[in-house]
């Protein structure tokens, strides 16, 4: 073997988290490589959201490390020790990651264009004229080129979630985290959001997606991770995990969802 | 024999019957009673021992106008300071620092708990217990500034401190309620695009909190305009003290007080109109699905409240 494996763009090592006596995550490790699409599936309460939120440190894990683009999330490596960063510097690290929420969380007081331009202009301090052009292009790609001056309150759920995706993409993040991006949507609006996500995947965006949409996982994902009871039970290529799961827990879960 | 019609068209040959509307007799009677009472009131007032003709001159007299300016200055300076202090106390109150939280709670408890008049009197008489105010390093002889308390604690400063500190406690609660009204997901979304705590506050949270903060702040400012009247007790030359100064010479107590009352009505009305436009500016389109137009102007809204078209036609 002469080729060296590419470095993971995202690496979670032994993440642990509890709320009081309730252990939500225990020794969870995961690597995501550039261009990969990884879907996380699992029953309610498995800790999927909590795990995803530790990756951009919206949730501070009790134990373990998260490495983003070769940097320890929330820390600075100095002489072999991890020194915790100030909230300000942590924010700069977060700017390299993107997240799409179940309930969109668009800024209601900003227009569609304002939502998408907020990060590049305020956080990356880029000139608003060039950002505007990019933002318009991204919004056109998600099919919202005609809604630039609308406010989130004037959009449908599917349109809102597409704006939220555009907002995250505009930051040119190393990867995107999705937490059940379609589960707050009316069934007829799910398709338009999944289509946008499939398009991103095709363009090589690295994505980690918590989802209950098995069809999406089957068509778009490179790898599927099954989580239950605060841990990863099984992971592997889509075909293997979804068609021939090794673990009985995975089989049980899949039977219940696919019925 | 009749067939059920499903096309929504009135059946042929069927005419509509005449309708007799309800007569609101009760409404007419109560309206008449109110008008009669008002007329009696005006007749009674006109027969009082009062020199109405003297009032207009008092309204524009230099003494009353000086009092008017002092009232407005005191109210604005006290309200603006209260907003600044209130925001600081509110941020301490929601911070993760237990000492800051305790301080903020104690501050609110103290300054909200005491009557404003009492606070003004306490500040005004501070010299009785602290004849000198010094800035220096405790337990050493180093003193940077030393001032006579009576020189510092003018009637304006005492009234300002009493009004501003009391109001700041209320503002802290108003701001806190405003900040709490913003969905937690908003902060997370701002975090997710890498905004710093200061950016999150100024760009995302405060603009959304404003719509909750502005209406009660406007009410408080109107109360503040009237609350400055308490400064007359320690001799600050606001509207009431000005009215009293005139009447102490010529005994036209009611005439001068009515002149002051007219000015209070004027400035309170102006403040109410200002509040309406401020609220409208912050009431963005986001909560109004579909409509991208602005809220109606005040004139149109008042006209709508009165149930008729605007008196003056707009020229658009
Ligand atoms: N802030 C919190 N405080 C206390 N407990 C929490 C908190 N957040 C999550 N939990 C608990 O952690 C566990 C895992 O929650 P999490 O939201 O990560 O699950 P999930 O896999 O995303 O489930 P779902 O499919 O319902 O979204 C749950 O038992 C939940 O009650
Ligand atoms: Mg979840």
Kindly list the distances between the CA atom of residue A2 and the CA atoms of A5, A31, B104, in Å, as whole numbers in the listed order: 10, 22, 64
DSSP string, B52-83: GGGHHHHHT-HHHHHHHHHHHHHHHHHHHHHH
pLDDT of B11: 81
Residues of chain A neighbouring B193 (CB-CB closer than 8 A): 94-95, 98, 118-119, 123, 167-168, 171
Is residue B144 scored above 90 in pLDDT?
no
pLDDT at B298: 57
Question: For residue A5, what pLDDT is reported?
Answer: 72
Mean pLDDT of B85-101: 95
Model pLDDT, residue B5: 61
SS3 at position A244: coil
User: Does residue A10 have a pLDDT over 60?
Assistant: yes
Closest by Cβ to B193, choosing from A95, A108, A152: A95
Report which of residues B5 and B195 the model is more confident about: B195
Distance from C-alpha of A169 to C-alpha of A100, rounded to nearest angstrom: 10
Tell me the average pLDDT across B68-93: 96
Predicted local confidence at residue A3, as pLDDT: 60
| pLDDT for position B30 | 95
Report in angstroms the alpha-carbon separations of B282 from A156, B176, B187, B287, B294.
23, 18, 20, 11, 11
pLDDT tens across A166-179, in order? 999 999 999 999 99
The ligand 1 atom nearest the CA atom of A20: 4
pLDDT for res B292:
43
* pLDDT for position B315: 38
Q: DSSP of B149-168, one letter per residue? A: HHHH--HHHHHHHHHHHHHH
Domain spans of chain B, in order of start:
55-283+290-315
Choosing from A18, A39, A48 the residue with most ligand 1 atoms within 8 A of its CB, the one to mutate for a pocket test is A48
Range list of H helices, B94-142: 98-113, 116-124
For chain B, what is the largest distance between any 2 Cα atoms, rounded to a whole number of angstroms?
A: 112
Sheet holding A10-19, edge to edge: A22-32, A10-19, A63-68, A71-72
- Model pLDDT, residue B202: 93
What count of other Cβ atoms lies within 10 Å of the Cβ of residue A235? Answer: 17
* Ligand 1 contact, A231 CB (< 6 A): no
Per-residue confidence at A89, pLDDT binned at 50, 70, 90? Answer: very high
Which positions in chain B have a beta carbon within 8 angstroms of at least one beta carbon in chain A? Answer: 183, 185-186, 188-197, 199, 203-204, 207-208, 284-290, 292
More confident residue, B146 or A153: A153
The residues, ordered by sequence, that sit 6+ positions from A175 with a Cβ below 8 Å of its Cβ are A9, A10, A32, A97, A98, A205, A206, A207, A208
Which residues contact residue A242 at a Cβ distance below 8 angstroms, ignoring those fewer than 6 apart?
A: A214, A217, A218, A224, A254
Percentage, residues of chain B above pLDDT 70: 88
Is the shortest distance between the CB of A60 and ligand 1 below 6 Å? no
| DSSP secondary structure code for residue A119 in this structure | I
Predicted confidence band of residue B139 (pLDDT cuts 50, 70, 90)? confident
- Quote the radius of gyration of chain B (alpha carbons, Å): 29
Confidence (pTM): 0.81
Whether the pLDDT of residue B184 is over 90: the answer is: yes
pLDDT reading at A180 higher than 90: yes
In whole angstroms, what separates CA B1 from the centre of its chain?
69
Q: Which residues in chain B have Cβ-Cβ distances shorter than 8 Å to A164?
A: 189
Give me the residues paired with residue A225 across strands.
Answer: A40, A235
**Looking at residues A39-56, what average pLDDT do you find?**
96
How far apart CA B275 and CA B270 sit, in angstroms, is: 9
* pLDDT tens column, B32-59: 999 999 999 999 888 888 888 889 999 9
Q: Within a 10 A sphere around the Cβ of B252, how many other Cβ atoms?
A: 18
In this prediction, residues B253-261 reach a mean pLDDT of 94
Four-way CATH pick for B55-283+290-315: 1.10.3720.10, 3.30.750.24, 3.40.50.720, 3.90.105.20? 1.10.3720.10
User: What average pLDDT does the segment B5-21 reach?
Assistant: 82
**B172-185: average pLDDT:** 96
Split at pLDDT 50, 70, 90, the class of B284 is low
Beta partners for A202? none
Task: Judge: A91–B288 Cβ closer than 8 Å, yes or no.
Answer: no
How far, in Å, from the CA of A19 to the mean position of ligand 2?
A: 15
Separation of alpha carbons A206 and A219, rounded Å = 15
Q: What mean pLDDT is reported for chain A?
A: 95
What confidence tier does B134 reach under pLDDT thresholds 50, 70, 90? confident
Question: What's the whole-number mean pLDDT along residues B112-126?
Answer: 95
Give me the phi and psi of B253, to 5 degrees please.
-60, -55
Q: Residue B292: closest CA among chain A residues belongs to which residue?
A: A150
Determine the Cα–Cα distance for residues A50 and A248; give it in Å rounded to an integer: 24
Say if the Cβ atoms of B285 and A118 lie within 8 Å: no
What integer pLDDT is reported at residue B300 of this predicted model? 56
Which of B193, B199, B294 to probe by mutation at the A interface, max A CB count within 10 Å? B193
Mean pLDDT, residues B224-239:
96
Q: Which residues of B201-240 are buried (b: 16+ CB within 10 A; e: fewer)?
A: bebbbbbbbbbbbbebbbebbbbbbebbbbbbebebbbbb
CA distance A157 to A209: 19
> What tokens appear for A73 in the block?
């999330």
């Amino acid at each position: 073997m002469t080729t060296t494996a590419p470095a993971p763009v995202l690496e979670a090592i032994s993440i642990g988290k509890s709320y009081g006596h309730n252990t939500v995550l225990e020794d969870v490790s995961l690597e995501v490589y550039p261009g990969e699409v990884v879907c996380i599936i699992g029953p309610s309460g498995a800790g999927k959201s909590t795990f995803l939120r530790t990756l951009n440190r919206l949730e501070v894990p009790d134990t373990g490390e998260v490495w983003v683009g070769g940097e320890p999330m929330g820390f600075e490596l100095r002489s072999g020790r991890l020194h915790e960063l100030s909230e300000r510097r942590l924010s700069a690290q977060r700017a390299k990651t993107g997240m799409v929420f179940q309930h969109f969380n668009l800024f209601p007081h900003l227009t569609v264009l304002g939502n998408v331009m907020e990060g590049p202009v305020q956080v990356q301090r880029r000139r608003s004229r060039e950002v505007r052009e990019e933002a318009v292009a991204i919004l056109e790609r998600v099919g919202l080129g005609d809604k630039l001056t609308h406010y989130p309150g004037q959009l449908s759920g599917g349109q809102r979630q597409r704006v939220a995706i555009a907002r995250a993409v505009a930051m040119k993040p190393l990867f995107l985290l999705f937490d059940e991006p379609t589960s707050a949507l009316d069934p007829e609006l799910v398709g338009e959001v999944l289509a946008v996500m499939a398009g991103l995947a095709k363009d090589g965006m690295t994505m980690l997606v918590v989802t209950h949409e098995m069809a999406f996982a089957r068509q778009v994902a490179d790898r599927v991770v099954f989580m239950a009871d605060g841990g990863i039970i099984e992971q592997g290529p889509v075909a293997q995990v979804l068609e021939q799961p090794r673990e009985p827990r995975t089989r049980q879960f899949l039977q219940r969802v696919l019925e | 024999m009749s067939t059920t019609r499903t096309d929504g068209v009135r059946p042929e040959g069927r005419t509509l019957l005449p309708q007799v509307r309800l007569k609101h007799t009760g409404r007419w009677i109560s309206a008449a009673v109110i008008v009669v009472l008002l007329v009696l009131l005006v007749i009674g007032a006109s027969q009082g021992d009062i020199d109405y003709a003297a009032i207009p001159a008092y309204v524009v007299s230099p003494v009353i106008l000086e009092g008017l300016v002092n009232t407005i200055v005191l109210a604005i300076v006290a309200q603006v300071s209260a907003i600044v202090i209130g925001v600081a106390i509110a941020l301490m109150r929601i911070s993760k620092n237990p000492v800051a939280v305790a301080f903020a709670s104690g501050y609110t408890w103290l300054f909200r708990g005491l009557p404003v008049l009492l606070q003004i009197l306490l500040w005004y008489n501070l010299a009785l217990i602290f004849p000198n105010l010094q800035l220096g390093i405790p337990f050493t002889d180093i003193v940077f500034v030393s001032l006579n308390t009576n020189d510092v604690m003018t009637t304006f400063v005492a009234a300002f401190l009493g009004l501003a500190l009391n109001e700041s406690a209320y503002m802290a609660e108003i701001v806190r309620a405003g900040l709490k009204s913003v969905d937690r997901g908003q902060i997370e979304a701002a975090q997710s695009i890498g905004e710093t705590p200061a950016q999150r506050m100024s760009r995302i949270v405060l603009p959304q909190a404003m719509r909750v903060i502005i209406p009660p702040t406007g009410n408080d400012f109107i109360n503040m305009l009237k609350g400055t009247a308490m400064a007359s007790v320690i001799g600050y030359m606001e509207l009431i003290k000005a009215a009293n100064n005139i009447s102490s010479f010529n005994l036209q107590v009611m005439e001068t007080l009515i002149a002051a009352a007219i000015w209070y009505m004027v400035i309170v009305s102006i403040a109410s109109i200002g509040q309406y436009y401020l609220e409208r500016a912050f009431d963005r389109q986001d909560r109004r699905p579909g409509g991208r137009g602005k809220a109606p102007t005040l004139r149109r809204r008042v006209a709508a409240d009165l149930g008729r078209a605007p008196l003056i036609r707009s020229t658009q």
